[in-house]
C-alpha cells in the first residue's frame, strides 16, 4: 500500500490508492466498482429497498465476548472455502461475462491470487501457490470432510444436525454481475451448496462496512502497487459497530501473510517487495479467504465527435475533462447505472464517486501504472534523490512508536517492543538505516522519512486561495478516529504533520516506516473558511468549526463539496442526475465544455440505447464492461455511429468470504 496523495477537494480529502487491486481512500483504499453488462440472467432473488435478507440456516452461535470474533458456522472452515473454489468454474464465468472474446484471450483473464498475472509482483515462480482447478469431485470431498454431506435424495448438503449448507450472496444489480452471479449460483447448486443471491440496487459500501454478508462479489480496481495492508492485515479487520476502520471485512488473520504484506509495503526495494508479496500470495491461496475470479476486459463507448477523452486501465477517464470538446455542443452527458452514496472520498470507495470526484479536482494522476505530479510545485514529487525527502537515522527512546522488521506498528515500553494492547512482541526485531534486520535495543537507530510536500498555489471554486489552515484541517479530519475513514493506516504511522505555509507541508513518518511510494505523502486539504449553509447545528459557522465526527454527514462535504478542479458540482437530483458547471476560479486550462451531466440509468441497456440515440456522450467502463452490450457498442463503432475503446483491465472480480459472525 501507499500513503495518501495530496488533494484539494472538500469532501474528498484523501487520494486514490496506489495498489494493483485497490483504489481510493486513505493508505490506498480500494474502490468497489460496478460494471453492467447485458445478458439474460435468471435472477433468483432480488433485494429491493426495505427488504430484509434472510439469515443463514446454520446453527446460531453463542454471543461472543467481542463482536465479529466468533467463527462463522460454515465459512470459518478452510475446507468449505477450498471446496467452493474447486466448485467454481472460472472459465464459464468468464465466457458468460465476455462471450465475444476468443478463448485464448479469456484464458488470460483467469486469476488465482489477489494480484493479476501481468503484474511484476505476481508470484509466478512460487511453486507453493495452491491452485484450485474446477473439480467437482475434489470439491465434494472437501465438503464431506468439513461435515457437509449430501444424501442420495438431497439437493443440498447438510451437517449432522440436519442444517443445510446455505449462504447469502450479495452483489450489485448490475447485469454484468447478475450474469456471472447466476452462473456461479448454479455451479454451487451442482455441488450441493445453496446460494441465496441478493442483487442490490444500492451501493455495497454498507454491506462491507457492517460486514452484512456471508459471501459478497465486487471488484478491486488495478493500480501501480499491489494491495494488501488495509485488505489483508490482521490489524485491519473492522468489528462494527465499535471498529469500522480497515477493509479486511473477511476477518482473515494469517500472521505470516499479515507480516509479509506489511513488510512488502515498508521497503524501498522492489526485490524485497516481490519476495514479501510472494509469501503473502502463498498464504492467501492456502487459506482461500477470498476467491479471485478474473480480470476484466473493459469497453467504453463515446460520441465519435468527442475529443480529448482518455481511457486508461489505471486512471479514471474523467481526469482531463477540461480538455473535452464536442463541436457544436457545450455539454457532455455521462451515463452511470450506479449513483455515488456520497461525495466524501474519506468514507466511500465507489468507482462512480471517484469518476465524479475527478471533475472537482486532483493533484496526482496514475496513468499506465505510474504516477504524474500534476499539482506539485515544479511538477516534481518529493523524492530522496531530488532532496524533497530525507531519510534520516534516529535513535528511538522510551514511549516512541515505530515500525518493526515485520512492518507492524509497535511502541517502546520498558526497553521492549509492545503491540497496541501492551503485550510484548514475540520478535524483537527492527531494520537499521541500511535496512538490515537487527535485534532491537533501547538505543537502536532506525531510518525515518521526512517528506516536504510543495504544491502549486491553488484556489477553491469559491475564489478563496488554498491556505495553510486548509491543509491542517485536512490532516485533522482524515486522521480523526471518529471521522468514519475507511482506514487510518498511514495516519497511525505519521509521527508529525506540519503545514509550513500555504503551499508547503512536512510529513514525518515514525521510525522504521519506509513505504515505497512515500513521495505521495499528504492528507488533502479542506476549505476551512467555507460557511455552513445547510440546516442544523453548524449553520452559519465555518467548516473549521465542525466536529470531525460530523464531517461524513455534512451536506457541504457529502453533497456540495468545494474543489479546485475544472468543474463545480452545482446540482444533484438524487436518483436522476448530477450537474457540473465550469469552475470560474480554476487555475488550469479553461474547460472547453460549459457543463458535464452525469445521468443515472436503471440498466446498461438504457444507457447504451441513449448513447446510440445521441442523448448520452460517454458510457464508461464503470457502466459498460463486456458481454452483449459491449458487442453492441463495438459493432456500432465499427459502423461509424459512435467511437469505442477496449482495454485489458487490471480490475478484477472476486468473491469474499466472511469468516466471523457478530
DSSP per-residue string spanning 338-365: S--S-S-TTT--BHHHHHHHHTT--S-B
How many other CB atoms sit within 10 Å of the CB of residue 213?
22
What is the arithmetic mean of pLDDT over 413-419? 95
CA–CA dist 2, 476 (Å, integer)? 19
Residues 170 and 201 in one domain: yes
Residues 210 and 240 in one domain: yes
Cell of 196: 441465496
Report angle CA 482, 6, 225 to the nearest 5 degrees.
Answer: 95
**Over the stretch 497-521, which tens digit does the pLDDT of each residue have?**
999 999 999 999 999 999 999 999 9
**Over the stretch 106-132, which tens digit does the pLDDT of each residue have?**
888 999 999 988 788 999 999 999 999
3-state secondary structure of 437: strand
Q: How confident is the model at residue 390 (pLDDT cuts 50, 70, 90)?
A: very high
Say if residue 616's pLDDT is above 70: yes
Residues 302 and 292 in one domain: no
Phi-psi region of 379 (alpha: psi -120 to 50; beta: other; left: phi over 0): left
Domain that holds residue 240: 70-296+653-661
Residues 263 and 362 in one domain: no
**Over the stretch 25-45, which tens digit does the pLDDT of each residue have?**
333 333 333 333 333 333 333
CATH number at residue 630: 3.40.190.10
Q: How many domains does the chain have?
A: 2
Share of the chain above pLDDT 90, in %: 67
Residues 285 and 179 in one domain: yes
Residues 657, 188 contacting (CB under 8 angstroms): no
Does the residue 582 lie in any domain?
yes
CA–CA dist 186, 259 (Å, integer)? 37
Residues 99 and 243 in one domain: yes
Does the residue 103 lie in any domain?
yes
**Over the stretch 332-367, which tens digit does the pLDDT of each residue have?**
999 998 898 889 887 776 788 899 999 999 999 988
The DSSP element (H or E) to which 197 belongs, if any, is: strand 194-200
Residues 321 and 201 in one domain: no
Does the residue 242 lie in any domain?
yes
Does the residue 471 lie in any domain?
no
Does the residue 166 lie in any domain?
yes
Residues 234 and 337 in one domain: no
CA atoms within 13 A on the CB side of 258: 15
Does the residue 628 lie in any domain?
yes
Tell me the C-alpha to C-alpha distance, in Å, between residue 178 and each of 90, 185, 335, 581.
15, 10, 19, 35
Tell me the C-alpha to C-alpha distance, in Å, between residue 616 and each of 25, 36, 336, 360, 425.
30, 16, 10, 21, 58
CATH number at residue 227: 3.10.105.10
Q: How confident is the model at residue 313 (pLDDT cuts 50, 70, 90)?
A: confident
Residues 275 and 365 in one domain: no
Which ranges constitute the DSSP H helices of 191-242? 205-209, 229-232
CA–CA dist 362, 379 (Å, integer)? 14
Residues 113 and 210 in one domain: yes
Q: Report the mean per-residue pLDDT for the chain.
A: 87
Does the residue 547 lie in any domain?
yes
How many other CB atoms sit within 10 Å of the CB of residue 538?
18
The DSSP element (H or E) to which 103 belongs, if any, is: helix 103-109
Does the residue 338 lie in any domain?
yes
Cell of 342: 456520497
Residues 175 and 290 in one domain: yes
Q: Which residues pair with 336 in a beta bridge?
A: 600
What is the arithmetic mean of pLDDT over 133-137? 97
Residues 180 and 198 in one domain: yes
Amino acid at each position: 500500500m501507499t500513503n495518501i496523495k495530496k488533494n484539494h477537494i472538500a469532501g474528498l480529502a484523501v487520494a486514490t490508492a496506489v495498489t494493483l487491486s485497490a483504489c481510493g481512500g486513505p493508505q490506498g483504499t480500494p474502490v468497489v466498482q460496478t460494471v453492467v453488462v447485458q445478458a439474460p440472467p435468471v435472477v433468483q432473488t432480488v433485494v429491493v429497498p426495505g427488504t430484509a435478507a434472510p439469515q443463514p440456516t446454520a446453527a446460531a452461535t453463542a454471543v461472543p465476548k467481542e463482536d465479529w470474533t466468533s467463527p462463522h458456522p460454515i465459512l470459518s472452515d478452510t475446507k468449505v472455502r477450498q471446496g467452493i473454489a474447486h466448485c467454481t468454474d472460472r472459465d464459464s464465468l468468464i465466457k458468460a461475462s465476455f462471450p465475444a472474446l476468443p478463448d485464448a484471450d479469456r484464458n488470460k483473464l483467469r486469476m488465482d491470487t489477489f494480484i493479476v498475472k501481468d503484474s511484476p509482483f505476481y508470484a509466478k515462480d512460487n511453486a507453493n501457490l495452491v491452485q484450485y482447478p474446477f473439480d467437482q469431485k475434489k470439491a465434494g470431498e472437501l465438503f464431506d470432510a468439513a461435515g457437509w454431506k449430501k444424501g442420495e435424495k438431497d439437493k443440498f448438503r447438510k451437517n449432522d444436525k440436519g442444517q443445510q449448507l446455505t449462504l447469502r450472496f450479495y452483489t450489485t444489480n448490475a447485469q454484468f454481475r447478475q450474469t456471472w452471479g447466476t452462473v456461479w449460483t448454479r455451479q454451487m447448486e451442482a455441488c450441493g451448496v445453496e446460494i441465496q443471491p441478493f442483487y442490490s440496487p444500492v451501493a455495497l459500501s454498507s454491506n462491507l462496512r457492517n460486514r452484512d454478508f456471508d459471501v459478497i462479489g465486487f471488484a478491486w480496481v488495478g493500480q501501480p502497487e499491489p494491495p494488501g495492508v488495509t485488505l489483508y492485515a490482521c490489524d485491519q479487520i473492522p468489528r462494527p459497530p465499535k471498529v469500522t476502520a480497515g477493509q479486511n471485512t473477511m476477518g482473515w488473520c494469517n500472521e505470516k501473510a499479515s507480516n509479509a504484506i506489511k513488510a512488502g509495503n515498508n521497503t524501498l526495494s522492489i526485490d524485497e517487495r516481490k519476495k514479501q508479496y510472494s509469501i503473502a500470495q502463498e498464504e492467501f491461496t492456502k487459506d482461500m479467504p477470498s476467491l479471485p475470479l478474473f480480470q476484466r476486459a473493459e469497453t467504453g463507448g463515446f460520441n465519435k465527435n468527442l475529443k480529448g477523452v482518455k481511457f486508461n486501465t489505471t486512471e479514471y477517464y474523467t481526469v482531463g475533462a477540461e480538455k473535452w470538446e464536442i463541436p457544436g455542443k457545450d455539454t457532455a452527458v455521462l451515463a452511470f447505472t450506479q449513483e455515488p452514496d456520497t461525495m466524501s472520498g474519506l468514507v466511500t470507495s465507489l468507482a462512480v464517486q471517484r469518476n465524479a470526484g475527478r471533475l472537482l479536482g486532483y493533484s496526482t494522476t496514475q496513468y499506465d501504472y505510474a504516477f504524474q505530479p500534476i499539482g506539485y510545485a515544479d511538477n516534481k514529487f518529493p523524492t530522496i534523490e531530488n532532496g524533497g525527502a530525507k531519510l534520516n537515522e534516529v535513535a528511538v527512546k522510551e514511549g516512541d512508536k515505530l515500525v518493526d522488521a515485520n512492518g507492524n506498528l509497535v511502541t517502546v515500553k520498558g526497553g521492549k517492543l509492545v503491540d497496541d494492547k501492551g503485550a510484548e512482541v514475540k520478535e524483537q526485531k527492527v531494520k537499521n538505516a541500511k535496512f538490515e534486520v537487527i535485534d532491537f535495543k533501547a538505543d537502536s537507530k532506525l531510518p525515518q522519512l521526512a517528506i516536504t510536500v510543495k504544491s502549486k498555489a491553488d484556489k477553491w471554486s469559491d475564489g478563496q486561495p488554498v491556505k495553510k489552515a486548509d491543509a491542517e484541517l485536512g490532516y485533522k479530519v482524515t486522521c480523526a478516529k471518529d471521522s468514519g475513514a475507511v482506514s487510518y493506516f498511514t495516519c497511525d504511522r505519521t509521527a508529525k504533520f506540519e503545514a509550513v505555509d500555504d503551499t508547503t507541508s512536512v510529513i514525518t513518518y515514525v521510525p522504521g516506516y519506509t513505504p515505497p511510494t512515500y513521495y505521495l505523502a499528504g492528507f488533502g486539504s479542506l476549505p476551512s473558511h467555507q460557511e455552513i449553509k445547510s440546516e442544523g447545528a453548524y449553520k452559519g459557522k465555518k467548516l473549521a468549526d465542525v466536529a470531525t465526527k460530523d464531517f461524513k454527514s455534512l451536506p457541504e462535504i457529502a453533497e456540495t463539496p468545494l474543489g479546485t478542479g475544472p468543474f463545480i458540482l452545482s446540482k444533484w437530483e438524487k436518483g436522476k442526475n448530477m450537474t457540473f458547471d465550469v469552475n470560474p476560479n480554476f487555475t488550469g486550462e479553461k474547460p472547453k465544455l460549459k457543463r458535464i451531466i452525469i445521468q443515472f440509468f436503471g440498466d446498461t441497456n438504457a444507457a447504451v440505447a441513449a448513447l446510440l440515440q445521441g442523448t448520452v456522450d460517454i458510457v464508461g467502463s464503470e457502466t459498460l464492461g463486456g458481454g452483449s452490450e459491449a458487442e453492441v457498442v463495438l459493432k456500432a463503432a465499427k459502423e461509424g455511429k459512435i467511437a469505442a475503446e477496449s482495454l485489458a483491465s487490471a480490475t478484477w472480480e472476486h468473491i469474499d468470504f466472511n469468516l466471523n459472525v457478530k
